Structures are given as structure tokens and as C-alpha cells.
Amino acid sequence: MPNPNKVTERLFQSPSKYIQGPYAIQNAAKYLGKLGNAPLLLCDDIVWKIAGEDLVKALSGAGFKVQRAVFGGEASREEIDRLSALGRKESSDFVIALGGGKTIDTAKTVADDLGKQVAIVPTTASTDAPCSALSVLYRPSGEFHCYTFFDKNPNVVLVDTTVISKAPPRFLAAGMGDAIATNVEARRCLNSPNFGGGLPTEVSAAIGQKCEEILFKYGKQAYEANKAHAVTPALEAVVEANTLLSGLGFESGGLAAAHAIHNGMTAIEELHSLLHGEKVAFGTICQLVLDGVPTSELDRYIDFMLSVDLPVNFEQLGIPKVKDEELRRVAELACAEGETIWNLDRVINVDLVFGAIKAADAAGSDYIRRSGWKRT
Ligand SMILES: [Zn+2]
């Protein structure tokens, strides 16, 4: 399973440039100038009001001719085809993604279809999508469809922490849910080729560890700063962990059970309103159970998740009455051929994954009882 082609090369890949700071959008022309001057800008109507107008102002002032395209909301093949046709019609010379994970994944695929470069300007720190050379595509109904891979990573990732500090804190928390999986997954798939097709390097392991260290150290503080819309060193550190470290860490380190279980969970309709990282957080508890970690370690992760209001049991996920048949279906999908769960360095099957999902819910509930945790 983990390495059928017996790959021996180590491989690390990353975006060409990553920039992060307060009011960074105001300097967009300086960083995007090398990509072209007639970009196709993908963003939805909500993001347009939050940051779109400012970005276009900054670029237009420097002579860019920006074509705005309204993103429909789902990273689906249909939406990508529609936007690619628009880019062709407008002769766009590069693509900008302004928004969250689905906008970003759509823009990366549109740029790949057009054979153009792409700049990512995330308006939330909610996923590890901005830095990677892959997109997760969904069906128009919202169910997981497939991963698509590109020859190169985004050319520029520009993160404006002032914009991110104004986003609802739930997005930052979801990004932490996605980022907390990075080290948990990467440390268990050292012998499997990563998303670039090579074995993980020392640096990808170090990135995963640093990512986790930042979350435990600053996660709660950054979450509270976000509630106050304040850009602080803790918030900057967590934005970097969620966006750069999590992105580099998963791509060159590898994903395993947490993301595979997340993908399976997208088949439960009641979970469609949850963010990617919220489901990945629960998937991380499932993987820790599968990994057989000691209770003290499991508690540490659950405690962290609760501190930033991430779901740790079925009730918090909003599926208190979920049936065993549904959970078995999640386990089956998590164990589908080609899923990242097969990167794990040991034998796995549907029964083990089904059991881990049930036990993760029980562990989350048990910790809430023992610790007397209450939502504040
Ligand atoms: Zn993810």
C-alpha cells in the first residue's frame, strides 16, 4: 500500500512567494505586477464588499485592467468551465482568487485550464488551500468529488491580516481545525509519497511540528483577538500556521486518516453547513484514536479544539442521532481506493475506521464530562 512504486526520492514543493501582513492588499500591485496586467478576479458578492473593491482600487491605480468574475459558491467542474470560458473571452493574462477555500480551489483550476499564473488572496485563514498545487473539487450538490493536481504551486500568496482579523472567528478556528491535522497526519505517513510524488523531507516534518506548536501556544489567544478584530502577534502566528505551514506541511508531508474521514463525512447532508476544518478537526480525533495515542495526548488535542469551539463529538457536529449505517458509509468512503488513509503506515479496514469514528465521539463526550467544559 503506502509506496507501490518504491519511490526513494524526497521532494518538497511550495508557492514561489508568500507575503503576509496588515493592509497587505494595498501593496498588491507590487507583488502581482510580474504575473501580468489583465487579471480575471474571482470572488463572491460578500467578499467583493469586504476586500474586492480595495483590491481593485489598488491594482487599477497601478494600471491593471481587472475583469471581475462572480464566483457561484461551489468548487465544481461546471463552475470551473464557466469561469474558464470567461477568462478566455476576456483574454485574461492571470487569475486572482479572492476569498475562502472554494474560491481558491476554483481559481487554481481555472488558471490551470487557461495555462496562466495564479495569485491567491485569502480573506479568511480557514483552510490550507492557498499554498498547494492541488484543488479539492465537489459536486454541485456539495459532496466530495475528487482531488485535481497541477504542475506548479500558486505563484503568489498574499495574505492581508487586517482583512482576516475582520472575518468571523469561526473561520480562523476552522483553519486551526485543518492545521491541527497536519502534524498528526504527516507523522504517520513517512514512507508514502506525498502530493508531489516524492517522500517527505526533513523540512516538511519540521513544518508540521512548528504548525502544531503555534496552535497550542497561540490558538486560543488568536481566536480571542479575532473576536476583537485585532491584528496581534498571536493572530499573525496562527494565520501563518493555518495558511503557510499547514499548506506546505500537508502537501509535502502527506495526508492520512483525518482528511479521508473528512471526505467521507461530506456524504452526510446535515454536515454540509460545517466548514472543511471543522470536519477535519473531528477527523483528527478519529485518527488519534486509530493511532492508539495515550489518553493524556488525546485529551490535549480535544482540550485545544474545545478552546476554539471546534466540534469534538456528534452532538457538536450537529448530528446527535446519526445512525450506524451512515457512519459505516463514512468509513467506507474514507477507505475508498486512492484515499489518503492508505498512506498510513499500517493495516486499516472499514471496521477499524467505523470503530474509530464511534470511539472519537465517545472520547470527545467523555472529555467534556470529565473536564466540566461549558461553551462560553
Ligand atoms: Zn484540509
Among 105, 262, 291, 361, which one carries the catalytic annotation?
262
Alpha-carbon distance of 276 to 64, in angstroms, equals 33
In this predicted structure, what is the pLDDT of residue 141?
A: 86
Catalytic residue among 44, 54, 112, 276: 276
Q: How far is the CA of 310 from the centre of ligand 1 (A)?
A: 15
The answer to whether residue 178 is catalytic is yes
DSSP for residue 242: I
Distance from residue 254's CA to the centre of ligand 1 (Å): 11
Angle between helices 257-265 and 350-371 (to 10 degrees): 90
pLDDT at residue 273, rounded to an integer? 92
Q: How far is the CA of 189 from the centre of ligand 1 (A)?
A: 16
Distance from Cα 180 to the centre of ligand 1, integer Å: 10
Q: Do 368 and 313 contact (CB within 8 A), yes or no?
A: yes
> How many Å is the Cα radius of gyration of the chain?
20
CA of 60 relative to ligand 1 center, distance in Å: 33
169-371 matches 17-166 in CATH topology: no
CA–CA separation, 286 and 227 (whole Å)? 29
pLDDT in tens, the chain (376 residues): 578 888 999 999 999 999 999 999 999 999 999 999 999 999 999 999 999 999 999 999 999 999 999 999 999 999 999 999 999 999 999 999 999 999 999 999 999 999 999 999 999 999 889 999 999 999 988 888 998 999 999 999 999 999 999 999 999 999 999 999 999 999 999 999 999 999 999 999 999 999 999 999 999 999 999 999 999 999 999 999 999 999 999 999 999 999 999 999 999 999 989 999 999 999 999 999 999 999 999 999 999 999 999 999 999 999 999 999 999 999 999 999 999 999 998 889 999 999 999 999 999 999 999 999 988 7
CATH 3.40.50.1860 corresponds to the domain 17-166: no
> Hey, where are the domains in the chain?
17-166, 169-371
User: Helix H segments across the chain?
Assistant: 28-32, 45-47, 53-60, 77-89, 101-114, 161-166, 169-186, 202-227, 233-240, 246-253, 257-265, 276-291, 295-307, 314-317, 324-334, 350-371
Number of neighbours of residue 145 by Cβ within 10 angstroms: 18
90 Cα: distance to centroid of ligand 1 (angstroms): 32
**54, 128, 160, 259: the active-site residue:** 259
Please confirm, yes or no, whether 276 is among the known catalytic residues.
yes
Which amino acid is located at 69 in the chain? A
CA of 64 from ligand 1 middle (Å) equals 33
Q: What is the pLDDT of residue 345?
A: 85
Which positions ≥6 away from 177 have C-beta within 8 Å?
Answer: 275, 277, 278, 279, 280, 281, 284, 305, 310
Catalytic residue among 178, 272, 299, 351: 178
Q: Which residues surround ligand 1, an ion (CB under 5 A)?
A: 128, 178
- Grid cell in block for residue 317: 457536529
Instruction: Respond yes or no: is residue 272 known to be catalytic.
Output: no
Q: For residue 293, report the distance from its CA to the centre of ligand 1, in Å.
A: 22
For domain 169-371, the CATH superfamily is Dehydroquinate synthase-like - alpha domain (1.20.1090.10)
